[in-house]
Amino acid sequence: MIPVAEPLLLEEDRARVRDALEGGWISSSGEFLERFEEDWARACSMPHGIAVSNGSVALDVAISLLRLEPGDEVIVPSFTIISPVQSIVRAGGVPVLVDSDPVDWQMDATRLEERITDRTRAILVVHIYGHPADMDPVLEVAAKHRLVVVEDAAEVHGALYKGRPCGGIGDISTFSFYANKLVTTGEGGMVLVRTAELAARARGQRNLCFQPQRRFLHAELGNNFRLTNLQAAMAIGQIARLEAIVARKREIARSYDTLLGGIPGISLPVERGWARNVYWVYGLLLDPSTGLDAVAFADRLRARGVETRPFFLGMHEQPVFQEMGLFRGERYPVAESLARRGLYIPSGLGITRDQIETVASSVKECLR
């Protein structure tokens, strides 16, 4: 089976983990943890980084910073992983969904304004599959209505929007460093913020709201969302070589573009003029004329030894939210169509030229 994604760690990464282990700093303090926060914040042009255990709790922390009142609304795309939406719901907020653009698969910013009410507090942009969302219209609407902009940048390490790093554009941003991400700590996450006050609150949320002056006095409920120095050690070298990692992902995408371009029945990922796509995954969209849906196509590819993943299923179609009475009767046609027609093929950093060719010829055979 050609895996859909595989981490690629180098000897320098393993050596740093050994250093952390041998130095005895195995919990959530240590020089690698501090460096990880500083290096990642700098890479994203943000002043403060707070490392946490994964990308989902990074969103919990980010949403906690909004101090939502029950019924406060946060706008978010329907076409996303569940993490941002569950964070809003758990914090007592109401997620308000927006459909996506059919070509670049990002939140359709032209539909934002119609979703704003007097309860709207924030816009949570989720950059999808390595391509930036169109941020200028988001910033414009946010400024007009005094909304906070949160970026979920889990899938866009190193991606650029008009030359600016994703995760360095809004007020708050979050990242995942799961093993399939461009930079990985195995499990891991980060919150980036612009003010020292928000950074202090995020650190409190990460660490049980212990207070710096009087440790066991608590003014708020927090969490244990700490990351270990051991995990952070893994990331230091990867951040230093992020440009090379991005270049490799783009090279993999160019190979697929060449091998699969112009074939009837599928469309390939795009790159808008204002974007640097890092192709976190390489998605294919099946044309309705093929008579195939993503599940049937994935089955055919699996039979040829090619692992794939289906695209996200929109949040308005999730039983868990329908049970809660959310999104009743709402339709988001683009999200629905992407969910049924989209899947992504192997594109991990360790993939070989032979494997890329095998995947591409399998895709062609399965379309016949």
Binds ligand PLP by CB under 6 A, chosen from 2, 44, 56, 228: 56
- Give per-residue burial for 310-338: e unless 16+ CB within 10 Å, then b: bbbbbbbbbeebeeeebbeeeebebbbbb
Least CB distance from residue 124 to ligand PLP, whole Å? 10
d(CA 170, CA 137): 12
154 binds ligand PLP (CB under 6 A): yes
Least CB distance from residue 241 to ligand PLP, whole Å? 21
- Identity at 272, one-letter amino acid code: R
225 binds ligand PLP (CB under 6 A): no
Contact map string, positions 22 to 41, toward ligand PLP, x by CB under 6 A: --------------------
Q: Are 187 and 177 in contact (CB under 8 A)?
A: yes
Nearer to ligand PLP, 6 or 113 (CB): 6
192 binds ligand PLP (CB under 6 A): no
126 binds ligand PLP (CB under 6 A): yes
Kindly compute the dihedral angle of the four CA atoms of residues 155, 161, 167, 171, in this order, to the nearest 10 degrees: -140
Binds ligand PLP by CB under 6 A, chosen from 176, 231, 255, 337: 176
Nearer to ligand PLP, 40 or 178 (CB): 178
Binds ligand PLP by CB under 6 A, chosen from 30, 49, 55, 346: 55
Least CB distance from residue 174 to ligand PLP, whole Å? 7
Least CB distance from residue 148 to ligand PLP, whole Å? 18
363 binds ligand PLP (CB under 6 A): no
158 binds ligand PLP (CB under 6 A): no
Q: Are 256 and 281 in contact (CB under 8 A)?
A: no
Binds ligand PLP by CB under 6 A, chosen from 28, 83, 86, 308: 83
- Which of these ranges, 31-39, 40-48, 52-60, 232-240, lies near ligand PLP under the rule CB under 6 A? 52-60
Least CB distance from residue 361 to ligand PLP, whole Å? 29
Query: What are the angstrom distances between the C-alpha of 164 and each of 113, 134, 169, 310?
Result: 24, 12, 7, 30
Total residues in contact with ligand PLP, by rule CB under 6 A? 12
Phi-psi region of 92 (alpha: psi -120 to 50; beta: other; left: phi over 0): left
- Which of these ranges, 48-56, 100-108, 161-169, 350-358, lies near ligand PLP under the rule CB under 6 A? 48-56
Binds ligand PLP by CB under 6 A, chosen from 73, 108, 152, 171: 152
Q: Rule CB under 6 A: which residues touch ligand PLP?
A: 54-56, 81, 83, 126, 152, 154-155, 176, 178, 189
